[in-house]
Amino acid sequence: MKHKYIDQNITETLESNYMPYAMSVIVSRALPEIDGFKPSHRKLLYTMYKMGLLTGNRTKSANIVGQTMRLNPHGDAAIYETMVRLSRGNEALNMPFIDSKGNFGKVYSRDMAYAASRYTEAKLDAFCAELFGDIDKDSVDFVPNYDNTMKEPTLLPTSFPNILVNPNLGIAVGMACNICSFNLEEVCRTTIELLKNPDHDILSTLKAPDFSTGAEILWNRNQLEDIYATGRGSIRLRAKWHYLKKENIIEVTQIPYTTTVEAIIDKVTELIKAGKIKEISDMRDETGLNGLKIAIDLKRGVDPDQLMLKLMKMTPLMDSFSCNFNILVAGTPKVMGVREILNEWSAFRIECVRRAMFFDLGKKKERLHLLKGLKKILLDIDKAIKIIRETEEDALVVPNLMIGFGIDKLQAEYVAEIKLRNINKQYILNRIADVEDLEKEIADLEATVNDIKKVKKIIIKQLEHIIKKYPSPRKTEIVLDHEVEEYNAEENIEDYAVNVFVTKEGYFKKITPLSLRMGGEHKLKEGDEIFQSFETTNKTDIVFLTNNGQAYKAKLHEFDDTKASVLGDYIPAKLGMEQGENVVFTFITKDYSGELLYFFENGKAAKIPVSGFETKTNRKKLTNAVSTASPLVSALHITEDTAVFIETSGGRGLCINSVLIPLKTTKTTIGVNTVTLKKNQKVVSACVAEKSVYKNLTRYTSRAIPASGALLKDENPVEVQLTLE
């Protein structure tokens, strides 16, 4: 059997096969629209509304799921998950839409699974009346469902900005959204003020996001203003807790919306196993009928405030919510700030209200038209009765009435349908009296529907009614960012004397003086040797220079204390160096003062300030730390100008003062010539002059550079281990 292969451009394949899927996910699945709902939410809630669950009793969730499949064919599991998130029991929303009964899980728990749909019951919460008001008055567009057997709304005519009241997370293709929730009263109040004054200061009424899980938000004006303006940014949240002094227990009762109880406990357990937290004796999840609770048993003498600051720093007890207000507007995804979102919602709501008013206007005009026909009958009721009685065929009654009174078909139909008991004069006079009221109502409606200011007043009244009817105190407490004490790891690190050793093969040891005295000889790999050692303290910074011209910074307290009898930490692995990258030289510093002298094989030397290695963000890796134009032979850390002794492969020595080497701010400077080298010669070492093994250094001293130095005298220098200052 022969196979046919057709060459096709990859871009054409993507456009024809992948783009339709991508667009479907973006427009019809993952991103919310201006009413605050994704299609799955909207289909579920509308189905429940049509089932009469806004005012009726609860029904089994399985029944609701089954009915929803008439609009949403994606399977019962996906529908039920959507239902769980919208429920009061799950506590994922500030203002839940579903009044639930049974186990619906908890948003703050990863492992607390919800019960199957056959066990739980649900109905629409009374709050949903604000979602469906005027939906039967053509306030929104309706489209056929997937099999064209019924109609469904494209949007819900929400009478409040639901898009900001409840959180929304969606991951589409190539884009996503993550909308934080705000307090219902604050959102409604802000919308009212914006309808009155487009230049209203939003931050004065919309204080900060508000999450269903409570906790505390670290309030930073600049951050919030940026989020409100652009729709992007990050918000920091931290857990709420209290200390039971008698039991020596910390109880965490509210956690950030972005994490779970299990994630917190797992992280703390990991830190305890790593030896980074030693103050906790036990930790339990005591969540029950009274809500969330994490109990932390403390060891004796532990400061609970300091421990919680440490846990906030190292675990999800303090977490960030990344905002991305990406919303579908007229079928197009758009990232908007709060003002733009509320303006879009206001425009949408104005349109909904006007459409409902047009619907009422049409109905009233139809009624008025019929009553005007009835008014003509009033002139001669007997004539109308006579026409009907004398008409032999039923189909001719309406045409005869139209001819007899000069009315149209609709009016004649209305008259013909009047019951026999209602053809008395009083009934007809009462109906005609309604004409004046109808004409007045129609005039008022026409005046309102064409006046945006009057429509805005209606919306403002509705929002004020919602504020009054659904009181919503803040769940998330606001704490000023600058008033929050941050955990300072440096302050809590014990400082003590240590000895540091670095070997040629790249192994590192940090040993206390006591352990060093009692430890015996160093354990080293075969052929390895110690080429640098320092006496310092545990709070010192250490910088490793590599053969790739890069520097790696670390703090000595990040290395475990060890013994001379072990190999120690392998630096390239510990610091995540690149393949083939090795340590060339190391220096230690506390305040990044002084200068660093680089000596290269080609006879050049460079002097740079150590302060160039200090970074505000505590970066571990610094690229372009040393010039790679020539191999680095030696590096000296000096705090003041000093004499330096340089030895070459040609058997010559040169002693110069470091003041002759100009200070450069660029770490990758190739330096200046210090030694005049003959062909195939190179610098082999450099050290502080006073540590040189050679005597009579004046013989080798030069007051200018470059210089050739002097031949080394055969003084049989004993081999000593050089150390870097």
Residues designated as active site: 119
Q: If we measure between CA atoms, which residue out of 325, 359, 353 comes closest to residue 339?
A: 325
Rounded to an integer, what is the distance from CA 90 to the centroid of its chain?
21
The rounded distance, in Å, linking the Cα atoms of 597 and 635 is: 5
The one-letter amino acid code at 646 reads I
Is there a contact between 118 and 44 (Cβ–Cβ < 8 Å)? Answer: no
- Which helix (DSSP H) or strand (DSSP E) does residue 432 occupy? helix 425-449
Q: If we measure between CA atoms, which residue out of 724, 566, 559 comes closest to residue 644?
A: 724
- 216-219 and 477-480 strand pairing: parallel
Q: If we measure between CA atoms, which residue out of 657, 630, 663 comes closest to residue 645?
A: 657
The rounded distance, in Å, linking the Cα atoms of 207 and 118 is: 42
The rounded distance, in Å, linking the Cα atoms of 355 and 350 is: 9
The one-letter amino acid code at 601 reads E
The rounded distance, in Å, linking the Cα atoms of 424 and 426 is: 6
DSSP string, 447-458: HHHT-HHHHHHH
The rounded distance, in Å, linking the Cα atoms of 474 and 242 is: 20
- Which helix (DSSP H) or strand (DSSP E) does residue 187 occupy? helix 184-196
Q: State how far the alpha carbon of 234 is from the alpha carbons of 220, 224, 229, 257, 684, in Å.
A: 10, 9, 13, 13, 53
The rounded distance, in Å, linking the Cα atoms of 391 and 403 is: 13
Phi, psi of 675 (to 5 degrees): -115, 135
Within 10 Å of residue 696's Cβ, how many Cβ atoms? 10
- Which helix (DSSP H) or strand (DSSP E) does residue 383 occupy? helix 381-390
